[in-house]
């Protein structure tokens, strides 16, 4: 296939040309490639460069050169074929001066979204040297989780981090995706603040981490859960919304938290919860769900009513005092 | 024909090859399904005249060079197939490799395809285009001195050995066959 050109907030990811080989080889022949088995010789660099390019013809995937303001700063690639047991997402920046600014993450996230989105792969892995702490952090920010059972290329001793095709729901202004532990810092910022008091907070960072892990685990357990809400063009979590059912809930609950006060009053929560609710009813087979709200949380009451939920005084409160609303499949108004 | 494509292959070749679409019939761009046959050839004694036999990793690297050549250099390899059958019979190369002073027309066949004139037929389809690109006498085939079968093909195509080029190359066992638009060198 013809390779795509992807554009992010700060970067352009484009197909390689012959002119890109010099910088590629320069990188692979220096100690900066130590986590990729380097330094390598120019012959190996050329083999790899051809492999990364040939992938587009052979497997409809491959490498893209990372450019920032017209300057080549690195490469991001998804490569498969006989060399790897399964498609692998890899990234590198040529110059240490470009590190620490989120460029690798921005490029890798765009490639991840392309390969697990339009390209249609269900899963992709990253092979990372267990000593490469920076790449491991990046893989986890991307949503990768260590996969101890995955095959490695030629049985080499490398760590494998696996990413799954996320569920992605899009609205006019938002993208909803499954949460991962890379969202923890945004979670902590909200749940440690007084703004979380109507949601049962504030919590310590440790409690927040435990609760985020539960949110993630509930997806695997039930097949539905709270989505992380992001603004289009950014992968940063700004809230958690959707239907979920913790172990001690008698039935699914539709809940939401929007973490940035500057985002309130724009209808973003309604936009996100409506699409998450519709997805939940369409895919889970459930026909009803509740929203447990704080009796003083007038904003949430208005949102419930806007969503078509009705006040339900007969349902048992699980953490009184509560004001409970009931949603029905189809979003029918009372 | 199987060493390393030189990274400094001339931009002129790339531009010219892109300007003219090199798409002979019965030859197509290589694809992944061709690779098992490619590996079988290049890891076997069939590759002895092109620097092999190679390891499987080397064979794959060679294959991806031939494929990537089209995107990076505007030149590379075609897979040779028979009419109505997609199976790879061999490969035809038009490129310029590491340390080679000139563009090269090369070929290699699978064992099953040997001796049926497929390489000659495929090379005949590409040769006029190669000569149009690089001029009469501007394309050569580098052939191992012990590779009598390929030497016969080069002669059938009208190529002539070039002792001056061979001397300049400095590899006694490597013969240089030069291709011309007319059968007689001008």
Within 90-129 of A, beta carbons closer than 8 Å to B belong to none
Residue of A nearest to B31 (CA): A58
Residue of B nearest to A81 (CA): B32
Residue B75 touches chain A, beta carbons under 8 Å: no
pLDDT above 60: residue A38: yes
Within 10-29 of B, beta carbons closer than 8 Å to A belong to 11, 14, 29
Instruction: With beta carbons under 8 A apart, name residues in chain B contacting A59.
Output: 32
Per-residue pLDDT tens over the stretch B36-78: 999 999 999 999 999 999 999 999 999 999 899 888 877 788 8
pLDDT of residue B183: 59
Q: Which of A133-142, A267-276, B58-67, B70-79 has the lowest mean pLDDT?
A: B70-79
pLDDT above 90: residue A151: no
**Shortest Cα distance, chain A CAs vs residue B60, angstroms:** 8
Residue A79 touches chain B, beta carbons under 8 Å: no
- Whether residue A54 and residue B68 make contact (CB cut-off 8 A), yes or no, is yes
pLDDT of residue B149: 95
Closest CA relative to residue A25, chosen from A72, A85, A69, A71: A72
- Whether residue B4 and residue A46 make contact (CB cut-off 8 A), yes or no, is yes
Average pLDDT over every residue of B103-119: 93
pLDDT of residue B12: 47
Average pLDDT over every residue of A170-180: 91
Please list, in sequence order, all residues whose beta carbon lies within 8 angstroms of the beta carbon of residue B68, skipping any fewer than 6 positions away.
A49, A50, A51, A53, A54, A57, B76
Helix or strand (DSSP H, E) at A242: strand A237-244
Angle in degrees, 0-180, between the axes of helices A268-284 and A298-306, rounded to the nearest 10? 50
User: B3 falls in which pLDDT band (50, 70, 90)?
Assistant: very low
- Whether residue A59 and residue B4 make contact (CB cut-off 8 A), yes or no, is no
pLDDT above 90: residue A241: yes
Per-residue pLDDT tens over the stretch B147-161: 999 999 999 999 999
pLDDT above 80: residue A334: no
**Shortest Cα distance, chain A CAs vs residue B72, angstroms:** 5
Residue A18 touches chain B, beta carbons under 8 Å: yes
Cβ burial A312-327 (10 Å sphere, 16+ → b, else e): eeeeeeeeeebbbbbb
Nearest CB to B67; choose among A49, A57, A83? A57
pLDDT above 90: residue A198: no
User: B6 falls in which pLDDT band (50, 70, 90)?
Assistant: very low
Calculate the average pLDDT of chain B. Answer: 84
Residue A47 touches chain B, beta carbons under 8 Å: yes
pLDDT of residue B17: 52
Please give the residue that has the higher pLDDT: either A154 or B174. Answer: B174
ipTM over 0.85: no
Calculate the average pLDDT of chain A. Answer: 91
Residues paired with A255 in a beta bridge: A242
Distance of CA A197 to the CA centre of its chain: 27
Please list, in sequence order, all residues whose beta carbon lies within 8 angstroms of the beta carbon of residue A193, skipping any fewer than 6 positions away.
A201, A202
pLDDT above 70: residue B8: no
User: A218 falls in which pLDDT band (50, 70, 90)?
Assistant: very high
pLDDT above 60: residue A333: no
Residue B68 touches chain A, beta carbons under 8 Å: yes
Rank A183-187, A268-272, B98-102 by mean pLDDT and report only the highest. A268-272
Per-residue pLDDT tens over the stretch A17-31: 989 999 999 999 999
The CA distance from A299 to B184, in Å, is: 91
């Amino acid at each position: 296939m013809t390779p795509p050109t992807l554009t992010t907030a700060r970067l352009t990811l484009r197909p390689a040309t012959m002119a890109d080989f010099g910088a590629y080889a320069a990188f692979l022949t220096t100690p900066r490639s130590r986590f990729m088995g380097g330094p390598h010789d120019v012959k190996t660099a050329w083999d790899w460069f051809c492999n990364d390019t040939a992938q587009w013809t052979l497997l409809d995937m491959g490498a893209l050169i990372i450019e920032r303001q017209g300057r080549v700063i690195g490469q991001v690639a998804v490569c498969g074929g006989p060399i790897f047991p399964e498609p692998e997402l890899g990234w590198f920046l040529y110059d240490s001066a470009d590190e620490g600014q989120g460029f690798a993450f921005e490029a890798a996230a765009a490639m991840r979204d392309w390969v697990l989105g339009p390209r249609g792969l269900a899963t992709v892995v990253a092979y990372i040297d267990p000593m490469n702490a920076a790449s491991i952090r990046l893989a986890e920010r991307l949503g990768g989780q260590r996969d101890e059972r995955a095959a490695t290329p030629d049985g080499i001793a490398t760590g494998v981090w696996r990413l799954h095709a996320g569920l992605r729901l899009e609205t006019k202004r938002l993208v909803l995706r499954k949460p991962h532990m890379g969202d923890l810092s945004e979670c902590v910022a909200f749940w440690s603040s007084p703004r979380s008091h109507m949601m049962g907070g504030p919590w310590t960072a440790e409690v927040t981490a435990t609760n985020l892990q539960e949110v993630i685990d509930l997806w695997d357990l039930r097949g539905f859960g709270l989505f992380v809400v992001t603004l289009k063009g950014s992968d940063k979590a700004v809230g958690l919304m959707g239907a979920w059912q913790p172990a001690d809930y008698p039935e699914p609950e539709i809940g939401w938290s929007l973490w940035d006060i500057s985002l309130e009053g724009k209808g973003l929560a309604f936009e996100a919860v409506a699409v998450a609710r519709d997805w939940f009813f369409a895919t889970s087979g459930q026909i009803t769900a509740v929203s447990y709200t704080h009796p003083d949380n007038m904003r949430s009451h208005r949102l419930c009513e806007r969503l078509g939920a009705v006040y339900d005084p007969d349902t048992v409160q699980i953490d009184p005092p509560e004001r409970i609303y009931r949603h029905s499949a189809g979003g029918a108004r009372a | 024909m199987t060493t390393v494509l030189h990274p400094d292959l001339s931009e002129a070749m790339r531009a010219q090859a892109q300007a003219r679409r090199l798409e002979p019939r019965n030859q197509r761009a290589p694809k992944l399904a061709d690779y098992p046959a490619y590996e079988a050839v290049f890891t076997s004694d069939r590759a002895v005249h092109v620097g092999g036999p190679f390891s499987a990793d080397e064979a794959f690297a060679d294959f991806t060079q031939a494929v990537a050549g089209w995107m990076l250099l505007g030149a590379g390899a075609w897979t040779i197939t028979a009419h109505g059958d997609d199976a790879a019979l061999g490969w035809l190369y038009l490129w310029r490799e590491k340390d080679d002073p000139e563009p090269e027309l090369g070929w290699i066949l699978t064992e099953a395809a040997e001796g049926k004139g497929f390489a000659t037929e495929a090379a005949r389809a590409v040769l006029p285009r190669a000569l149009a690109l690089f001029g009469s006498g501007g394309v050569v085939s580098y052939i191992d001195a012990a590779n009598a079968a390929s030497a016969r093909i080069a002669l059938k195509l009208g190529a002539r050995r070039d002792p001056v080029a061979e001397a300049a190359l400095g590899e006694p066992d490597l013969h240089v066959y030069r291709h011309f638009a007319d059968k007689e060198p001008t």
